[in-house]
Structure 1
Amino acid sequence: MSDEPRQTYPAAYAAEHGTFALIPAAYVFLVDRGRVLLQMRAGTGYYDGWWAASAAGHVDPGETVMAGAARETSEEIGVEVDEADLEPITAMHRTAPTGLPIDQRLDVFFVARTWRGIPSLQEPDRASALEWFALDELPERLVHHERVALEGWRDGGLPAVTAFGF
């Protein structure tokens, strides 16, 4: 790798192209003996009353997606996951029909088969339940794009990069 400093885009270019925002998020499915841990969303205004990944959230500025996945897992369900134990399953470019910049997402999904601690809800204002489900008996109300990633991984053949909502 070159010793020369990394370059950044000129201010004029950034101003001209700055209307596009891509929000990165990390998702973690804890998997154990043919089961997956899901949490019931509540109080967020987004998919409340639906089952969702074991843990998920936005990647913070300056944070890698792996570090974000490990942090969110600790914050949301109280277990520690080593970044090296995160198995990437897909990167999903996702949008919604609004066309708004906030709906441009890059979701990176991971499976974790090992962790330290006992999963328990840490944010009761954002989730109301935490339950194990057999991978072949997933709940009907599982967040749409998360279902695509989880079932695709479970069934095999999930592409490394997927698209949803286009």
Structure 2
Amino acid sequence: MKREPDARQTYPALYAAEHGGFSVVPAAYVFLVDGDRVLLQLRTGTGYYDDWWAASAAGHVEAGEPVTRAIVREASEELGVTLAERDLEPLSTMHRTAPTGLAVDQRVDFFFACRTWGGTPALQEQKAADLRWFDLDALPEQTVHHERFVLEAWRDGTLPAITAFGF
């Protein structure tokens, strides 16, 4: 029996009202990788981890957007490069929180590596001040905490498919 693509069930209004108090912010990250080197950007002017090194490209997943399409979009917007979804290597999915208890701190982060892209990576937006390649064995001291966790565990071969950070 063939199902129509729009035949998916939705939550009834009463169920949603009783269970809809959750909020998790989804974000996608990609690390462009060349051998044992990773491309990082120096954040600036965002109010969050400014002057810290971060993923090659990252951003929030928009409503109705698949996570792989989100990271392809972010790489284009932030670095001016073209990625193919088939070239994304899933690294880990991280459930992350901060000690504030605020809804904005309840996160799910999808991490990818990519070794193939079109174009030359260059900063395209004002939210980064620098873009540099670093050896995975010599990451800058001020690498965003949860991103360093992923990079070091990936480098060491100990990164689980699902991780929790901040709990």
Give the corresponding residue for 1:146. 147
Q: In structure 1, what residue type is equivalent to 2:84? A: D
Find the counterpart in structure 1 of residue 96 from structure 2: 94
Q: Which position in structure 2 is the counterpart of 1:40?
A: 42
Match of 2:164 in 1: 163
5+ residue gaps, structure 1: none
* Cα distance in structure 2, aligned partners of 1:38 and 1:51: 6
TM-align CA RMSD: 1.2
1:19 Cα deviation after fit: 2.0
Q: Is the 8 A contact 1:41 1:48 kept in 2?
A: yes
Counterpart CA distance in 1 for 2:90 and 2:160 is 11
* TM norm structure 1: 0.96
Aligned mates of 2:146, 2:93 — CA distance in 1? 11
Partner of 2:135: 134
Report how far residue 2 of structure 1 moved.
5.9
Unaligned runs of 5+ residues in structure 2 are none
Structure 1 residue identity aligned to 2:3: D
Which secondary structure does the structure 2 equivalent of 1:28 belong to? Answer: strand
SS state of the match for residue 151, structure 2? helix
User: What per-residue deviation string (whole Å, max 9, x for no partner) do you get for residues 49-76 of structure 1?
Assistant: 0000000000111110000011101100
Paired with 1:159 and 1:11, the residues of 2 have a C-alpha distance of: 37
Q: Secondary structure at the match of 2:16?
A: helix
Percentage of pairs with the same residue: 68
Q: 1:114 aligned to 2:116?
A: yes
Give me the whole-angstrom Cα distance separating, in 1, the residues matched to 2:83 and 2:135: 21
Q: How far apart are 1:16 and its partner, in Å?
A: 2.1
| Paired residue secondary structure (1:120) | coil
Cα drift, residue 157 of structure 1:
2.1
Q: Which amino acid aligns with 1:149?
A: V
| Per-residue deviation, 1:3 | 1.9
Q: Does 1:14 align with 2:16?
A: yes
Which residue of 2 is the match for residue 103 of structure 1?
105
TM-score when scaled to structure 2?
Answer: 0.95
Indicate the SS of the match to 1:163: strand
